[in-house]
Amino acid sequence: MKILKVILSICMLINFSVVSAQDNVKVLVSNSNNGSMIIKWYSENIYFDQPIYVFRQDEGKNAWVLISQKPIVKGIAIPDNVVEKDKVLDLLQNKVLVNKASELDGMTKLILMIKSVQYPDLSEFLGIQFIDSGVSRGNKYRYMISYSNDETQKQIGLSDWIVATEYIPAEAPKDIKTTQEGNSLHFSWKPDEDKFIGVYIYRAIKGQEMVKITSVPVLAGVDENDNYTDYFYTDDSLVTGNEYIYTLKSIDYFGRESNESPKISVTIKDMEPPVAPDKLVCNTEGKIVSIYWENENVPDLAGYKIYRTIANDTVFTCITPNILLKEKNIYIDTLSDIGVYNYRVAAIDDSGNEALSEIYPVEINDVFPPSTPQSLVAVADVGKIVLSWQACKDDDIMGYCVYRSIGPESAFLLLNSEPIKTTTLTDNLPVNAKNEFVYKVVAVDLAYNRSDYSELALSRMPDVSAPEKPIIKTIKQDKNALVIEWYSNSETDLKGYYIYRYDDKSGFEQAQRINNKIK
């Protein structure tokens, strides 16, 4: 872990209570294992250059009792056996002996505080700790720190009330969270600076002994806005596939560790993505897109996924719910609409890591004819034929073109120069037109693609014209009969003739109906 960065980030984390005095001093008190009280105090300069006295007050009493008969001052030296444990103590000792507390830089003060927590002998050397052995179990006390052995003199720090009782180790750190990033594991937890200065982290590879991996307490980091960072410690250089067991313990300001947290088991997964597919080629044929790419030599390659989006959309959607086999390097996509599409191919390894290719655009142009008009019907009336058909369901229909001929074998004539949007058309014709008329319809879309022709519709207008009147050629007498002869009509649809006879009494009467001429 890069502890220097963390130390710099938490330099402003130590908050001191202002207790009606000019100095900012935090007085901490705790029970011990032997029935005594441990009193410890920190100032903004960590320690004081002048002598310090400690007073005690019983609950319900006004008097303050001086319990430090001798002034508490800086020591001459840290015991050699303690310095041998941590060479940093020797450097700190020299700085304290040759400098006033106010002359020390912020980093030195912070390290002094951390080391004074780890090593009670350093706290004794700095003159910031006192042991009160005169307490009675069950009684409640508080303590005052002063510059003088006279209680009327300057008070520089006051503790909270505390009941003398047996020391009980604190609870383990709470809300521990781990996040893997590559071959590193980030840790965070719920800080409690009023009780703990930091956290020790222990680790073991599964099946091996647990070892403390943090030589100094890990402090909760803060950013420039005094907000906690996302994580406080990173265990890096872990081995992929190994299972690691962790437990955390808080350390209070008296150097005592809390109960350990529940064991945390983490198997380091492969977080390294494979090599992304390269050299994609996208071919189009109609609305079918063929995507090709090169297979890379990835030992743990599991397969591929295909992602697609419309050009203006930045969110890609996976169009292959199942991973494509790693032996494949082609995918066929069938589209339903025209437009510009973007594709990406992702390589997937055995751990589920993805590596996306670059974006490859594909344009589907509208070269597709609309559907064929259906159900063309031609209904004849006097002087017109009314056509109707079902509308095509295509979204891009511009309209319809209608054609007419006078027979299936004759050429068709376009009836409307511009496509009509309606699905009906009235063809006005001469009332005496007797031809059989044939019609067909074609749909046209916005890209001027034309559908196939509809099925033919045939119709003939009703015959509302009488034939030409016959012309009598001769009337001859043959014995007791008359032979009437007339010129034949030219109409092709002539059905026959009626013969009318006239006499003076009855006028004209139908005498006979014949289907041919009489000679």
User: What is the arithmetic mean of pLDDT over 475-486?
Assistant: 85
Same domain, residue pair 38 and 79: yes
Structural domain range at position 486: 471-514
**Residue 198 and residue 251 in contact, taking contact as beta carbons nearer than 8 Å:** yes
Quick check: is 466 in a domain? no
In the predicted model, is pLDDT for residue 276 greater than 50? yes
Q: Which residues of 248-268 are buried (b: 16+ CB within 10 A; e: fewer)?
A: bbbbbbbbbbbebbeebebeb
Residue 6's CB is within 10 A of a number of other CB atoms, namely 20
Same domain, residue pair 286 and 310: yes
> pLDDT by residue (tens digit) across 212-251?
999 899 999 888 888 999 999 999 989 988 999 999 999 9
Whether this model's pTM surpasses 0.75: no
Same domain, residue pair 13 and 89: yes
Quick check: is 273 in a domain? no
> pLDDT by residue (tens digit) across 364-398?
888 888 999 999 999 998 889 999 999 999 888 99
Those residues with Cβ within 8 angstroms of residue 210's Cβ, 6 or more apart along the chain or in another chain? 202, 203, 204, 245, 247
The predicted structure's pLDDT at residue 15: 41
Same domain, residue pair 150 and 215: no
Same domain, residue pair 14 and 157: yes
User: What is the arithmetic mean of pLDDT over 281-287?
Assistant: 89
Name which residue leads in pLDDT, 325 or 511.
325
> What is the rounded CA–CA span in Å between residue 388 and residue 383?
17
Give the 3-state secondary structure percentages of the chain, helix then strand then coil, rounded to 5: 10, 40, 50
Same domain, residue pair 454 and 503: no
The predicted structure's pLDDT at residue 13: 38
Quick check: is 36 in a domain? yes
Region of residue 286 (phi > 0: left; psi between -120 and 50: alpha; otherwise: beta): left
**Residue 469 and residue 491 in contact, taking contact as beta carbons nearer than 8 Å:** no
Q: Provide the percentage of residues in the chain whose pLDDT is more than 70.
A: 92
Same domain, residue pair 420 and 490: no
Same domain, residue pair 16 and 146: yes
> What is the rounded CA–CA span in Å between residue 424 and residue 402?
10
| Residue 98 parent element (H or E) | helix 88-98
Same domain, residue pair 62 and 105: yes
The predicted structure's pLDDT at residue 513: 58
Quick check: is 171 in a domain? no
**Residue 244 and residue 238 in contact, taking contact as beta carbons nearer than 8 Å:** yes
> What is the rounded CA–CA span in Å between residue 293 and residue 343?
12
User: What is the arithmetic mean of pLDDT over 417-425?
Assistant: 94
The predicted structure's pLDDT at residue 8: 37
> What is the rounded CA–CA span in Å between residue 252 and residue 301?
49
Nearest-CA neighbor of 96 among 71, 128, 70? 128
Quick check: is 172 in a domain? no
Q: Which of 267, 292, 316 is the last residue of a domain?
A: 267
In the predicted model, is pLDDT for residue 5 greater than 60? no
Same domain, residue pair 332 and 256: no
User: What is the arithmetic mean of pLDDT over 416-444?
Assistant: 91
Task: List residues bridging with 41 in a β-sheet.
Answer: 27
- pLDDT classification of 153: cutoffs 50, 70, 90: low
Q: Provide the percentage of residues in the chain whose pLDDT is more than 90.
A: 53
Name all contacts of 470-475 with Cβ < 8 Å and 24+ positions apart.
470/497
Q: What is the CATH number for 229?
A: 2.60.40.10
In the predicted model, is pLDDT for residue 462 greater than 90? no
Residue 491's CB is within 10 A of a number of other CB atoms, namely 13
Number of folded domains that form the chain: 5
Quick check: is 186 in a domain? yes
**Mean pLDDT across the chain:** 87
Chain-centre distance for alpha carbon 226: 29
User: What is the arithmetic mean of pLDDT over 173-184?
Assistant: 93
User: What is the arithmetic mean of pLDDT over 144-155?
Assistant: 79
- pLDDT classification of 313: cutoffs 50, 70, 90: confident
* DSSP one-letter code for 281: E
**Residue 441 and residue 389 in contact, taking contact as beta carbons nearer than 8 Å:** yes
Quick check: is 168 in a domain? no
Same domain, residue pair 159 and 82: yes
Same domain, residue pair 25 and 147: yes
The predicted structure's pLDDT at residue 152: 64
Nearest-CA neighbor of 42 among 112, 143, 89? 112
Quick check: is 169 in a domain? no
In the predicted model, is pLDDT for residue 428 greater than 70? yes
Across 80-192, where does the E strand assignment appear?
129-132, 140-146, 155-158, 162-163, 177-181, 184-188
Most confident of the ranges 20-24, 334-338, 493-497: 334-338
In the predicted model, is pLDDT for residue 36 greater than 90? yes
User: What is the arithmetic mean of pLDDT over 143-160?
Assistant: 84
Q: Which residues of 273-302 are buried (b: 16+ CB within 10 A; e: fewer)?
A: bbebbeebebeeeebebebebeeeebeebb
The predicted structure's pLDDT at residue 481: 84
